[in-house]
């Protein structure tokens, strides 16, 4: 459970950095994202899931968990 809380905390830190550094650019990026086709958004989401799975697999192989 402690590891899960650690991971969630790290994710929140990483997710918060763009909002802190450049909120105006992030808002512009989100407005462009809203206009993107759903297939593009699904592709981005799928790519992010695969990348996350790869990171989890690599951390297991390195003995980080």
Give the pLDDT means over successive 10-residue stretches in the chain (65 positions).
85 93 93 93 95 87 74
Domain of residue 44 covers 2-61
Total count of domains within the chain: 1
Residue 38: per-residue pLDDT? 95
Contact 19, 26 (CB under 8 A): yes
Residue 1: per-residue pLDDT? 76
Residue 61: per-residue pLDDT? 85
Residue 64: per-residue pLDDT? 65
Residue 44 token pair: 């981005």
Residue 65: per-residue pLDDT? 57
Residue 63: per-residue pLDDT? 79
Residue 63 backbone class (left: φ over 0; alpha: ψ -120 to 50; beta: rest): left
């Amino acid at each position: 459970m402690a590891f899960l809380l650690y991971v969630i905390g790290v994710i929140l830190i990483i997710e918060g950095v763009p909002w802190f550094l450049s909120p105006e650019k992030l808002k512009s990026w989100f407005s462009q994202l809203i206009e993107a086709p759903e297939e593009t958004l699904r592709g981005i989401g799928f790519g992010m899931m695969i990348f996350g799975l790869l990171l989890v697999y690599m951390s297991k192989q390195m003995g980080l968990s």
